[in-house]
Amino acid sequence: MVFSDSDFQYAIENTRVIIPPERVIATFGPTTFHFILVSELMDRVNCIRIRKGRVEADRPQILSPHHLRQILLEGFSEEAKGFSSWLMQQGANLKFLRYGFHFRKTDLLEEIVHEPIGEVIKQLATRFQENRDPLYSLIEGVDDTWEVCVLKFTMDLIRQSAPDNVGEWRRRGLL
């Protein structure tokens, strides 16, 4: 199935992290986040899909303009490559952050339940409170574009983690 820009926009606007992970992406090692994504099937009433999976966040990396040029500019024009040369001339203090994620579909579990979505979320939230794991999160999303919802979740993790990661690198004199 091919999705349109409006499908992507709809998924992003309708992704809601109900219970976020308590931890952020680790600065000096990989971090595995587990998620439960709840979505309502569009063509059936009170038919809810529950997906359980994991997203692995690589250790964040600090990239200099030289490394950025090697990684990102393959296939770009000479003009774009000229921009990276200009960046390198701006000084050694210019750094970029790189975050990498791996989504393992082999670890994905799905089940369908026949209850209102609000009730399913309430039951899962109660279970979360009883068995709280700091790397688990509960997400409500869109069924067809559920992977976009997971990507939105990872983008939010980066936004939340970056200040802590940068602060840790500064404390250790790496930035």
Q: What is the CATH number of the domain that holds 132?
A: 3.40.1530
Do 158 and 115 lie in one domain? The reply is yes
Do 52 and 119 lie in one domain? The reply is yes
* 15/134: higher pLDDT: 15
* 111/33: higher pLDDT: 111
Do 139 and 166 lie in one domain? The reply is yes
pLDDT for res 49: 96
- Predicted confidence band at 94 (pLDDT cuts at 50, 70, 90)? low
- Boundary (domain end) residue, out of 76, 98, 120: 98
The model's pTM: 0.74
What mean pLDDT do residues 3-17 have? 87
On the question of pLDDT at 39 being above 90, the answer is: yes
Mean confidence (pLDDT) of the chain: 78
Do 52 and 108 lie in one domain? The reply is yes
On the question of pLDDT at 2 being above 80, the answer is: no
Do 20 and 50 lie in one domain? The reply is yes
How far is the C-alpha of 117 from the C-alpha of 80, rounded, in Å? 48
Do 42 and 119 lie in one domain? The reply is yes
> By 3-state DSSP, what share of the chain in percent is helix, strand and coil, each rounded to 5?
40, 25, 35
Q: What is the pLDDT of residues 72-87, one digit of tens each?
A: 555 555 655 565 555 5
Do 113 and 150 lie in one domain? The reply is yes
When divided into structural domains, the chain yields a total of: 2
* 19/88: higher pLDDT: 19
Write out the residue range of the structural domain in which residue 126 sits.
5-57+103-171
Do 123 and 82 lie in one domain? The reply is no
- Boundary (domain end) residue, out of 47, 79, 98: 98
Do 10 and 93 lie in one domain? The reply is no
Do 93 and 160 lie in one domain? The reply is no
What angle in degrees, to the nearest 10, is found between the helix axes of 146-171 and 5-13? 60
Instruction: Give percent of the chain above pLDDT 90.
Output: 25
Angle at 76 between CA 72 and CA 78, to 5 degrees: 120
On the question of pLDDT at 67 being above 70, the answer is: no
Do 87 and 114 lie in one domain? The reply is no
Do 51 and 66 lie in one domain? The reply is no
Highest mean pLDDT among 125-129, 131-135, 169-173: 125-129
